[in-house]
Structure 1
Amino acid sequence: MSHFEHLRSHAIPALQATMEEYVAPASGARHIHLTTSGAEMAFLVGFPTVPDASDGRAHILEHLALCGSQRYPVRDPFFAMLRRSTATFMNAFTYADRTVYPFVSTDENDFYNLLDVYLDAAFFPKLDYLNFLQEGWRYTLTDGVLGYQGVVFNEMKGAFADPGHALYKGLTSTILSGTTYEVDSGGDPLAIPELTHQMLKDFHASHYHPSQAVFMTAGPLPAAAVQARIAERVLARQIDASTRRVPQLASAFVAPQRNTVRIPSQQGRDNEFGLQMTWLMGESAVPKVAFEASLLSAGLLGDAAAPLMKAMETAGYGRPSGFNGHDDSARQMLFHVGMEGLTEAQAPMAEALIWATLEQVAEQGVEHATLQAALRDLKYQQRSTRSGSMPNVLERLLVALPVAMRDGDVVTAFDSDAILQAMESDIADPAYFKALVRNLLTSPGRLVSTIVPDAAYFSDRDAVESARLAQASAQLTDADRARIAADTVALEAHQKTAFDSQVLPRIRPGDVSTQPRALPAFAPTADDIHAFSIGSNGISSASIVYDVSAIPAADWPWLALYTQLRDDLGLEGQDYAEAGAWRQRMVPSFGFDLQPFQLPDGALRIDLTVSANALREEHANIVAVLDAYMARPRFDEAVRLRYLLERKVENTLDDLAQAGSHYASMAVSAPLAQVRRFQDAIAGPTALAFNARLKTLAATPEGVAQVAAELARIHAAIVAQRPSMLCAGSGDDGHELARLLAAAWPTSSTTTGATVAPGASAEAAPQPPANVALHAAGQVNHCNIAWAVPMSHDDDAGALSVAAELFTNQVLHTALREAGGAYGGSASYAGDSGVFSMASFRDPRLAATYRDFDAAVDTILASDYSDEQVEEAIIGVIKKLDKPEAPWDAVRLGWRMFRRGTDMATRERFRQGVLGCTQAQVKAVVQKYLKNGTASRAAFAGNTEQDLGGLAVVDLSALAGA
């Protein structure tokens, strides 16, 4: 007999899916299942976690729950399953009011293997004390000096480098005062040491229980089969019910409030102030609240012509805040409007500007077409099959989960058609939107925050931490010191303890296909037009692709700037605001992109792609937008161009520390491969010099005019050739779209200008390896080391890819994360560029990490790994190769393979090299390319007083023109 009762089913034709809802009456556990025909099967279990302190208990518990359980009493089952499973996604997330454990797999056996592991981890974790010391926090004694260590402790030090993190907590701690959102659920490193192991265990007992749980699944599997496993593994052991936890509601404001929020700044420049206005609205799980907030975002801020956006962008000072828009991350919807890049004196001016604009809109409203486009976008988002950082099917579940946990109608999270139809009638009345804006003006639930840059942000926090350590050190007894030393020894032994892996299920190389996954096939055509039929839920997509490989390296930064700014500029006969509003009404998705490829001979090929996606009834709109942006550009809006340049420059300067890992990874590999050299030139440390140049050019009318001329020159070089065209849609939609596009393009693409012949650029001369420590103020490091190796067409490619997994699983995870305290440590093989690298992320160490990198090579060569360990590494490679793509993404991937010259035979050869890889082959390539090779080293260093291991310091702020 099932523990679950069926409550309702709801068909969703737009998704070709059915939502089913169940409850287990004895415990109160809920199960929501989305039946789909896609290959991926998704699972998650979510718990409401509502901490009342910033000690990171919810976040540390998330980590600790994955460190061994009653049924799987091994040290690290989560990371072990990462290499024993073909899952396309495995992770866990801590939000402000919930913790979620999700995975996705395409293999049914693998799905149920992971289901067993996840259920036991969530409901019956060991919560071992030594794992608490490793994952949460612990004292260390180095030469008698007391310190802190811990994975989450260091992870959050890295998170606090983000000015946005400090700003958001400054806002929510006030406007949501008295609720769980007031505290930092991830953990404030200054508060994390207040958490004890017992407090963590108590938190698990009170929050992780079937009565609190929401189970969600999706895919081509029966709900009853999942429920039977949940009943057997969990409900048979935990059936008592308790009151379900729901996040608190903030107390109503009787009058608007003000506060000051200090955010980290590299130099405390006088133009880093900000002004943020935040409104407290209704409950985010209520559909009407959610969709009206979306309308406010679209009507006020949705494009360059939207009244608030236009007012802020044309103010002559500052720029719109990155926080602007509606925010449903809390139980109560928030709405943010603000400006950044201000001087202190401009903050009151920004407040007055925002207020005056809202009053104007409350009187005059916005165009009906703008609101129609907003509703169209919501419909498009519901149908979209595109994936971001996780599978689309899981994204849908994660969007629906907070609605379910906050007592909303979960059906509306999957199917909004009825609500959107009702809102079509609402927006037909001009008074409707005006009233929404008037409610903002009259609401007492408003917070006005002044944002202050603080160059001493990190040093002040370091001083507080040092003072607390000094106080704790002074109070240590001999017994305390002995206990810390004993804990350190015990943890080191624990981390080195081998476990019986046989207790964990796994997928073996023999269980997977010997053939590469199918991708849309491309072949040369006379007109270079390629059309496909895909399962897209009625969404059609088109890309116009220009081969810009012959553009010289000196112009790469200009080419990148063109792609970044082009859709923010105007068209002939339309200024930027008119063009942006028109485009938004025509299509829901549009953009430019640069895609570099490295050919087997090392030469570089570069595609510039302009794409549009829309509902199937908007084919003509897709064609019109693509045609307009490539045939009728304008670069003469000097005021607009200056604003865009200043925004780009300032955003780059603001994000130096937060982007430290990215800059280090670019710097380490740029000397080793052409494609990495290109990426560094447009987005790495080398690009920062171009940023400084743009800052100078933006300061004068002559400089802005020079930029405009360069952009026009780049555009002429791009459109002087005939592009390739990719089209796809449901049924015959892709072919019909291709016919419309082909009919329009011969006349629209005629242009004058210097012709750039298509083809591949020549291979550049080798560059010396990097040896740099890129510096911006921060509290953590990111370390990288890399070697030049053969690309994926080479016979050694399979062994190199398996070697990267073996390094990660058997050496680096233990050395860098468990023992070293970094949030992450891994190796990777990039077969598309011929680069093998190792990296650490949010790392408290630097020189010691490089010693670990060097030692890792010797460890791999000296160790005798079991067949099982090698097979785990093989599976780690295969699951990346087999990860499904969304239908349109698969078309684009097939195109990239075609452009690279990677045919099916090449893919088959690489796959066979992976599946047949031996330990001897791994050691041979490690010896040949790593041990005997020349390493490139680049790190991001949060401070330069630490041991830098011989790396030369490069100041990112100076490089970027601060």
Structure 2
Amino acid sequence: MALTNGFELLYDTPLPEYRGVGRRYRHVGTGADVFHVRNDDPENLFAFAFRTLPADSTGIAHILEHTVLCGSRAYPLKDPFIRLVKGSLNTFLNAMTYPDKTVYPASSTVEKDLFNIMEVYGDAVFFPLLRREFFQQEGHRLQFTDGRLELTGIVYNEMSGVYADHDSVAGRIVHQALLCDTPYGHDSGGDPHAIPDLTYDAFVDFHATCYHPSNALIFLYGDIPTERYLEFLDARFLSRFEASRASAAAAGQLIQPRWSDPREFTVTCPTDGDDGPTSITLSWLISGERTPEELLSLELLAYILLGSSAGPLRRALIESGLGDDLSAPTGMETDLREPIFSVGLRDTDVAHKKAIESLILDSLSRIERDGIDPALIESSLRKVEFRNREIKGGGPNGLRLMGRSLRGWLHGGSPEHTLRFEEPLQRVRNAVAAEPRYFERLIREHLIGNTHRLLSVVLPDADQRQREAEALSTWLGARERALTPDERARIEADQAALDQLQTTADPPEAVSSLPALRVADLPREIERVATAVNAIGGVPFYTHDVPANGIVYIDIGFDIGDLHGDLLPYVPLFVDAFGELGLPGRTYDDVITDIGLKSGGMSAFHEAGIPADGSITADRRLFFRVKTLESTLSEAVDLLADLIVSPDYSNARRVSDVFKEARSSMSGSVLPSGHSYAAVRAGRAYSDADRYGELWHGATQLLFMSSLDEDGGRLAEPLARIGDAVIRRRAALVNVTGSADACEAALPHLERLVAALPDGEAPTGERSADSPPADERLVRERLVDEPFPPAEALIVPSNVCYVALAMRGAWFGTDDHVHEQVLAHLLRTGPLWESVRMTGGAYGVSASARGMDGVFGFWSYRDPAIVPTLDAFRAALTGAANGVSPDDLEQAVIGVAGRYYRPQSPSEKALVGLRRTLYRIPDEVRDRNHRVLLDTRVDDVVRAARRLVDAYDDHTVAVLAGADAVDRAAAVIPALGERRIQLPL
């Protein structure tokens, strides 16, 4: 047996879908399993993955994921993770806990940087210190605050927020109830009621069992030679282990015994009123083999039934009027050992429970009996094929492939089996051709005839938060009264030890041992996107010659700067309605199916941005996008033109359904994205772009949507007026991205589209006397130039807080802005992390310098406090004004520089190149900023901090939190009590 650095090559296999090969190795000494997708992508990625099946809901896997990154044998620092973040060019760096695994992935385009991270991550997962103090910091602890016993901990606080989020509750109970006899029946993230039961000894034992190399799956991706990885892994980590005597829970434990009869499960979720959301969901556990074609068939079935508004099951639910939107768990989940199919409604009423269940079952029977439209099947097949072919953005390609490979690999399959899609897709196509009712059979076998079915209900409970707070208070009171003097002394000693550990600087020798880049290691060339500017039919025409795997991206934009103020709040609904309505003589489901047949997708979006030319007024634009294969360019562009010019608003019921789905979706986004709602609310006092952003994406939009009548006829009128006002040739632009040949091939089709646009002066869309007005107070608040309140509280049903502060910052293109970027990085990876996260217990905290808006801001995420966090914001700035260390500065410069080299997908390049042109951001300015960044000195950052400290009193605060937390904060900051807005969730 030939060995390479202690590894045996099991096999290699071609992976033409990814222009590479897959190589699988086994470490002979430990049994560690390694799979490398080797191709020519310079954005390399590694991931350590471990099977971590929970035996209870104490959150042991989640707390361990946090704590292994709090110091290791080679790097005994308080938080080597955040030190990596400080000075790395990583394109992804994180750790994630799933129901059955924990994964530690990282990626970078710089080989030295990637191996630095791998060195620290590998030492963290295999040789963590697991100090009791950090178990208490990250997990749970009792401490005395103002003389009273308190329960806190970062994971405890995080999960308290998760358990107050309706959609999270709806998703969790499907796993826990449908898979009740397996580890999936427990919450690997942790139930706040169970987290305090986790002991330190059990925590340490879990690591010893689950984090041995014999339980490790190591995924590698990119162009670094495999041999370098294998040598590194063996020398640094694996050679120090022997074969494991312990083993993680066997995958066989994940097979759920089947029910002979369906079951029902009901839970409640806290809300601030009696009209909170209700979700009703029907879920099935799917039997069968986990072959690639089986999993792909199930995904396709879910897409056919639910993946678009043309899906017959989705359509039946939405058109029923029994709810506003699909419930959060809706879809096919294939990452678990056994797939789960779920479908249901959100924003419904518990009185509709049986009606919804009957509707779903009857609809499935009808679809199975009457058959599925072959055009819809073909449209779905093409959509899945396109999705797998597209070079996606939003994260490293290796990260997506890691997730796909673990889908089968974790459960005993081969990692490449769930990576491949071309052969499985062709086999599915062949099966459909041989058996025309292929998907109907899957419905019959896996759904209609499947008794392992769960009806789950999530009800709002206006009293739950108070009950839980009182129960916790009672428990803490009883616990405190029962404490012996020795127990009290132990809590106080633990608290003192943790406080000392958190406030004591890491030893210089430990800090210097951490592998790090230096400024001299940085590339000198920044990322660029070439943009050619021409015109077609008098309309600006921008092209980007980018290899895109045979795909073309086309954006048609319109200036909406002159749109009448009465219509501004309706712009998000106009965007949501694009592609969801019919065309003259064609129904909406027919149109949506056609979109799937002729393109990889069509969408619309809107944005406001301030040009970098000294302006303080935001440009506003509306965009329509299509992505399509070169072979379907003509058909796709013609359909796009029809959808832009001739949408059919006559189906009032359909317009109403689109509105209700959009409103429900926005309501469900508030708690998971509470920091974004707070930050844009605070920033609108200083940025015209944030004012529009808050109107369109913030609390104002949510309040506006909640104020509207659901009557589709009344809603259609302002949408039609927006189209009449903005869809004009003179306000248009065209943006095309793809290969040079594809851009040239698109030209004649785009000339037809431009010619189809209405010409002449565009009306402003001023409201007619009989059309429905927008909420005039909300619109006036946005349009009138008046001072915004210094502090606002957005009241939501949450046990945690989201705290944001904004103030005037430097503008893009100035040295001051570059120095503020470095300062912000120093703050969020240094004093803010230590004070708000480590000490304060918040899940996240950040500072940002947004030069395009002229705003410097802060926010916290899932934070147990408000006032201490605001104090920490100011203290962090003041501390930086008194000086920063040269080493910290250099690491911050490197951390900020990473954005100049970050790889981008073709889709991202399309918009980045366009925006740099529209907002006047030439590469010459970016080059200059890059030089200023690399030359930044300590005095530059100190001056930036002092400038912000001097201007600090002119700031705005926005807090999104529960009423009780706001009440406590208002006792210290009265302005928070003066401006309270209840959000309708």
The 1-side partners of 2:137 and 2:278 are apart by 38
Call closer, same or farther: CA 1:303–1:672 in 2, change over 3 Å: same
Shift of 1:2: 2.1
* Residue from 794, 817, 827 that aligns with 2:814: 794
15-24 vs 181-190, which deviates more?
15-24
Other structure's SS at 2:271 match: coil
Shift of 1:673: 0.6
Other structure's SS at 2:634 match: helix
Q: Quote the residue 2:905 is aligned against.
A: 886
| 1:124 maps to 2:127 | yes
* Residue from 947, 950, 970 that aligns with 1:931: 950
Contact 1:787 1:835 in 2 (8 A): yes
| 1:829 maps to 2:849 | yes
Matching of residues 94-493 of structure 1 within 5 Å? 94-241=97-244, 245-247=249-251, 248-267=253-272, 269=274, 272-282=277-287, 285-319=290-324, 320-388=326-394, 390-428=395-433, 429-439=435-445, 440-493=447-500
Other structure's SS at 1:69 match: coil
Q: Quote the residue 2:641 is aligned against.
A: 627
Other structure's SS at 2:963 match: coil
The 1-side partners of 2:651 and 2:576 are apart by 16
Matching of residues 486-525 of structure 1 within 5 Å? 486-499=493-506, 500=508, 501-523=511-533, 525=535
Shift of 1:943: 2.9
The 2-side partners of 1:271 and 1:210 are apart by 47
Call closer, same or farther: CA 1:543–1:656 in 2, change over 3 Å: closer
Q: Quote the residue 2:793 is aligned against.
A: 773
Call closer, same or farther: CA 1:88–1:878 in 2, change over 3 Å: same
* Residue from 778, 802, 805 that aligns with 1:782: 802
Shift of 1:782: 0.9
Call closer, same or farther: CA 1:234–1:266 in 2, change over 3 Å: same
Other structure's SS at 1:754 match: coil
* Residue from 529, 548, 552 that aligns with 2:541: 529
716-725 vs 178-187, which deviates more?
716-725
Q: Quote the residue 1:589 is aligned against.
A: 601
Q: Which runs of 5+ in 1 are unaligned?
A: none
- Letter in structure 2 aligned against 1:821: G
789-798 vs 252-261, which deviates more?
252-261
Q: Quote the residue 2:706 is aligned against.
A: 692
85-94 vs 138-147, which deviates more?
138-147
Other structure's SS at 1:732 match: helix
Shift of 1:588: 2.5
Other structure's SS at 1:870 match: helix
- Letter in structure 1 aligned against 2:791: N
The 1-side partners of 2:177 and 2:574 are apart by 41
Q: Quote the residue 2:722 is aligned against.
A: 714
- Letter in structure 1 aligned against 2:962: G
* Residue from 895, 907, 911 that aligns with 1:876: 895
The 2-side partners of 1:881 and 1:607 are apart by 26
Other structure's SS at 2:47 match: strand
The 1-side partners of 2:552 and 2:436 are apart by 32
The 2-side partners of 1:83 and 1:783 are apart by 23
Q: Quote the residue 1:45 is aligned against.
A: 48
Q: Quote the residue 1:565 is aligned against.
A: 577
Call closer, same or farther: CA 1:275–1:930 in 2, change over 3 Å: same
- Letter in structure 2 aligned against 1:82: V
Call closer, same or farther: CA 1:284–1:540 in 2, change over 3 Å: farther
TM-score when normalising by structure 1: 0.95
Residues 512-565 of structure 1 deviation map (CA, whole Å, 9 limit, x = unaligned): 134432222344546522333323222222111222223244432122221122
- Letter in structure 1 aligned against 2:398: V
Other structure's SS at 1:591 match: strand
The 1-side partners of 2:928 and 2:566 are apart by 37
Shift of 1:269: 4.0
Other structure's SS at 1:430 match: coil
- Letter in structure 2 aligned against 1:151: I
Q: Quote the residue 2:768 is aligned against.
A: none
The 2-side partners of 1:26 and 1:870 are apart by 43
Shift of 1:913: 2.1
Call closer, same or farther: CA 1:795–1:271 in 2, change over 3 Å: closer
Shift of 1:447: 1.4
Contact 1:72 1:117 in 2 (8 A): yes
Shift of 1:956: 7.7
The 2-side partners of 1:763 and 1:277 are apart by 45
| 1:76 maps to 2:82 | no
| 1:899 maps to 2:929 | no
Tell me how large the CA RMSD over aligned residues is: 2.2
Call closer, same or farther: CA 1:812–1:273 in 2, change over 3 Å: closer
Call closer, same or farther: CA 1:16–1:872 in 2, change over 3 Å: same
Contact 1:139 1:149 in 2 (8 A): yes
Shift of 1:871: 0.8
Shift of 1:494: 0.7
Report the number of matched residues. 948
- Letter in structure 2 aligned against 1:402: R
- Letter in structure 2 aligned against 1:360: R
- Letter in structure 2 aligned against 1:788: R
The 1-side partners of 2:19 and 2:475 are apart by 58
Residues 727-785 of structure 1 deviation map (CA, whole Å, 9 limit, x = unaligned): 2234622321233222x21432236773569xxxx998473353112111210011111
Residues 560-606 of structure 1 deviation map (CA, whole Å, 9 limit, x = unaligned): 22112222221121122222222222223221011221123112112
TM-score when normalising by structure 2: 0.93
| 1:750 maps to 2:758 | yes
Shift of 1:957: 7.1
Contact 1:570 1:579 in 2 (8 A): yes
Contact 2:796 2:983 in 1 (8 A): no
Shift of 1:376: 1.9
- Letter in structure 1 aligned against 2:738: G
The 1-side partners of 2:569 and 2:783 are apart by 18
Shift of 1:268: 5.3
| 1:667 maps to 2:681 | yes
- Letter in structure 2 aligned against 1:556: L
Call closer, same or farther: CA 1:951–1:275 in 2, change over 3 Å: same
Other structure's SS at 1:462 match: helix
**Identity level (%):** 28
Q: Quote the residue 2:745 is aligned against.
A: 736
Shift of 1:463: 3.0
The 2-side partners of 1:63 and 1:820 are apart by 16
671-680 vs 418-427, which deviates more?
418-427
Q: Quote the residue 1:917 is aligned against.
A: 936
Contact 1:88 1:883 in 2 (8 A): yes
705-714 vs 13-22, which deviates more?
13-22
- Letter in structure 1 aligned against 2:572: A
The 2-side partners of 1:959 and 1:93 are apart by 31
* Residue from 974, 977, 984 that aligns with 1:950: 974
| 1:546 maps to 2:546 | no
Other structure's SS at 2:495 match: helix
Q: Quote the residue 1:850 is aligned against.
A: 870
Call closer, same or farther: CA 1:118–1:448 in 2, change over 3 Å: same
- Letter in structure 1 aligned against 2:464: Y
Residues 694-713 of structure 1 deviation map (CA, whole Å, 9 limit, x = unaligned): 2xx22x5xxx4332111111
- Letter in structure 1 aligned against 2:168: H
501-510 vs 537-546, which deviates more?
537-546
Matching of residues 636-655 of structure 1 within 5 Å? 636-655=650-669
Q: Quote the residue 2:836 is aligned against.
A: 816
